[in-house]
């Protein structure tokens, strides 16, 4: 059993070292590709852009839609997680409790899908990026690697695909419609949403003002 213990110990040390190296690297270097992109049969269209060149409406829209406590939590919204667990236990549509930080950790370092093993790795990388990257870098990476359409990644590529313009000049409604589609970008329409999706986008657009007024994006621009 000693060789097994030694092997597991070395594997653990190797994983910790590699994960720290990758997190440190991507603190400064654009993420070139992710597992989700490589496994996308529709190809990859992306265009990394600095957060300085992404309209603040887009940042506020994803905070309004995905993670209203982004600037105040440590990477985990425990209340949202508890609500998701209670809702899922009752059955019906599965709800998630992931923050933007958790989604970024998953998108950059891991794979899509569930499972406790992946969730464990996700938690580890979430702690690392919160400590090493900080909120501004997390938001920048999230907006550059999130899937925004079929074979489309990042808000710059998404803005050009849907609106024919740069992510630097998005209206509140355009940003809100992109944010509304983020959970299911292959299924939700950005340009011509209907019914619930259109109403959801309008709600997010209205909440952008609240995010601005309450300073819920302040950690991104300090």
pLDDT tens-digit readout, 60-105? 999 999 999 999 999 999 887 777 667 666 665 545 579 999 999 9
User: What does the alpha-carbon distance between residue 134 and residue 219 come to, in Å, rounded to a whole number?
Assistant: 9
Q: Residue 76: CB partners within 8 Å, gap ≥ 6?
A: 99, 101, 102, 123, 126
| DSSP letter (8 states) at residue 149 | E
Report the chain's terminal Cα–Cα distance, integer Å: 52
Per-residue model confidence (pLDDT) at position 155 = 98
Does residue 25 or residue 92 have the better pLDDT? 25
Q: What is the pLDDT of residues 145-200, one digit of tens each?
A: 999 999 999 999 999 999 999 999 999 999 999 999 999 999 999 999 999 999 99
In which region does residue 164 sit, left (phi positive, over 0), alpha (psi from -120 to 50) or beta (all else)? left
Q: What is the pTM of this model?
A: 0.92
Q: What are phi and psi of 153, to 5 degrees?
A: -135, 135
């Amino acid at each position: 059993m000693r060789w097994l213990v030694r092997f597991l110990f070395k594997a653990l040390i190797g994983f910790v070292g590699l994960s720290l190296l990758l997190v440190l690297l991507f603190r400064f270097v654009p993420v070139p590709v992710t597992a989700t992109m490589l496994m996308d049969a529709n190809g990859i269209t992306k265009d990394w852009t600095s957060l300085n060149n992404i309209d603040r409406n887009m940042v506020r829209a994803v905070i309004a839609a995905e993670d209203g406590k982004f600037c105040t939590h440590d990477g985990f919204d425990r209340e949202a997680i508890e609500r998701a667990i209670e809702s899922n236990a009752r059955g019906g549509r599965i709800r998630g409790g992931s923050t933007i930080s958790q989604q970024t950790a998953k998108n950059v370092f891991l794979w899509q899908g569930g499972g406790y093993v992946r969730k464990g790795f996700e938690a580890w990388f979430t702690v690392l990026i919160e400590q090493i990257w900080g909120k501004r870098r997390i938001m920048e990476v999230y907006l550059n690697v999130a899937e925004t359409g079929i074979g489309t990644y990042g808000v710059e590529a998404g803005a050009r695909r849907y609106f024919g313009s740069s992510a630097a000049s998005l209206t509140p409604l355009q940003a809100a419609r992109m944010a509304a589609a983020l959970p299911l970008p292959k299924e939700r329409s950005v340009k011509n949403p209907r019914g619930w999706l259109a109403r959801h986008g309008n709600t997010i657009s209205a909440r952008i003002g609240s995010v601005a007024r309450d300073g819920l994006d302040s950690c991104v621009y300090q």
